[in-house]
């Protein structure tokens, strides 16, 4: 495995399995380490919450295979592959002590699986609106059935700002920009679909008992994608968990409420 410095704020790692990916690196060297796993949307809008967390922690935020320029997503086929890749990235980074583990949505799902496999490898765990459980009476919205213009209303309080964030400022009057956006989005959803399609349940409920780490389950109480009732479901399956809600928050609370979410996460991690 190798690690190489690239532009400021980014390192590139190659895992033992041979997957190369970029990792955003924020905060002062020597601060307590924190690993953050992004949602199915990827890294968006400059990641304001991560910058807030970086005031107290050394934050490492991997770009998931299928979300960056490098190939590698073809090597990830199931939930175990995703969890082991996350662990391999942490190992490749050479983090000097057990990092805290934070994940949002799909990233929360992967973070939980990583902690279930090796609880002693991590400090505290914070799961922000994690996907991964399924309640028949409260189904999670099928991401893969939504049309592009429908995403903002399920994900954001401010749908106009959310649409701009999801598209990354693309000029949709430019045919080449449209093509690039569709290719990028298709690749991302193709990767995410390996663990989220047809329903986002890979039987995490059978393994959560292994997470001995103190865990925060954080939810926007107006989440339309994954109903907030799931917070109690996660808490009921985790040995040591507490819940925090963001009043009026939707699924993308790390982007719309970065100060509030970062304060809740930091207060929990200590």
Residues 250 and 156: beta-carbon distance below 8 Å: yes
Q: Which pLDDT score, from 0 to 100, does residue 4 have?
A: 45
> Exposed (0-12), middle (13-18) or buried (19+): which is 41, by Cβ within 10 Å?
buried
Q: How many domains is the chain built from?
A: 1
Residue 93 CA to chain centroid, in angstroms? Answer: 18
Residues 221 and 191: beta-carbon distance below 8 Å: no
Q: Which pLDDT score, from 0 to 100, does residue 183 have?
A: 73
Using DSSP, state whether 230 is helix, strand or coil. Answer: helix
Q: Give the pair of three-digit tokens for residue 61.
A: 């935020």
- 37 to 173, 182, 217, 248, 261: CA distances (angstroms): 33, 23, 15, 23, 15
**Sole residue written with tokens 């970062």:** 262
The kind and range of the H/E element at 160 are: helix 159-167
Q: Going by C-beta distance under 8 Å and a sequence separation of 6 or more, which residues neighbour residue 176?
A: none
The CA distance from 139 to 210, in Å, is 25
198 preceded by a cis bond (ω within 30 of 0): yes
The CATH number assigned to the domain holding 92 equals 3.40.50.1820
- Write out the chain's pLDDT in tens, 270 residues: 554 433 349 999 999 999 999 999 999 999 999 999 999 999 999 999 999 999 999 999 999 999 998 889 999 999 999 999 999 999 999 998 999 999 999 999 999 999 999 999 999 999 999 999 999 999 999 999 988 889 999 999 999 999 889 887 665 556 766 666 667 778 898 999 999 999 999 999 999 999 999 999 999 999 999 999 999 999 999 999 999 999 999 999 999 999 999 999 999 999
The kind and range of the H/E element at 185 are: helix 175-196
Q: Going by C-beta distance under 8 Å and a sequence separation of 6 or more, which residues neighbour residue 172?
A: 178, 181
Sign of CA dihedral 177, 180, 185, 186: positive
Domain extent for 124: 2-269
> Strand order in 2-5's β-sheet?
2-5, 10-14, 20-26, 58-62, 33-37, 100-104, 125-128, 215-220, 241-246
Q: Which pLDDT score, from 0 to 100, does residue 184 have?
A: 75
Q: Which pLDDT score, from 0 to 100, does residue 147 have?
A: 85
């Amino acid at each position: 495995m190798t690690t190489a410095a690239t532009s400021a704020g980014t390192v590139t790692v190659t895992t033992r399995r041979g997957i190369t990916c970029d990792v955003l690196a924020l905060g002062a060297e020597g601060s307590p380490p924190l690993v953050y796993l992004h949602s199915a949307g990827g890294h968006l809008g400059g990641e304001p919450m991560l910058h807030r967390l970086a005031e107290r922690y050394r934050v490492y935020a991997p770009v998931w295979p299928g979300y960056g320029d490098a190939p590698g997503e073809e090597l990830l086929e199931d939930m175990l592959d995703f969890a082991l890749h996350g662990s391999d990235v942490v190992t490749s980074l050479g983090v000097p002590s057990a990092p805290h583990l934070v994940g949002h949505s799909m990233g929360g799902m992967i973070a939980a699986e990583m902690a279930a496999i090796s609880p002693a490898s991590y400090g505290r765990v914070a799961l922000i609106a994690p996907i991964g459980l399924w309640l028949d009476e409260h189904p999670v919205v099928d991401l893969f059935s939504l049309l592009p213009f429908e995403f903002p209303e399920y994900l954001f309080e401010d749908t106009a700002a959310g649409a701009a964030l999801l598209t990354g400022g693309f000029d949709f009057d430019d045919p080449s920009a449209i093509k690039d956006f569709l290719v990028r989005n298709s690749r991302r959803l193709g990767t995410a679909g390996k663990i989220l399609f047809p329903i986002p349940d890979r039987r995490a409920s059978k393994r959560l008992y292994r997470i001995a780490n103190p865990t925060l389950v954080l939810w926007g109480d107006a989440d339309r994608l994954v109903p907030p009732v799931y917070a109690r479901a996660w808490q009921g399956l985790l040995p040591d968990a507490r819940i925090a809600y963001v009043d009026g928050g939707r699924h993308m609370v790390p982007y719309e409420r970065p100060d509030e979410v970062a304060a809740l996460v930091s207060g929990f991690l200590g």
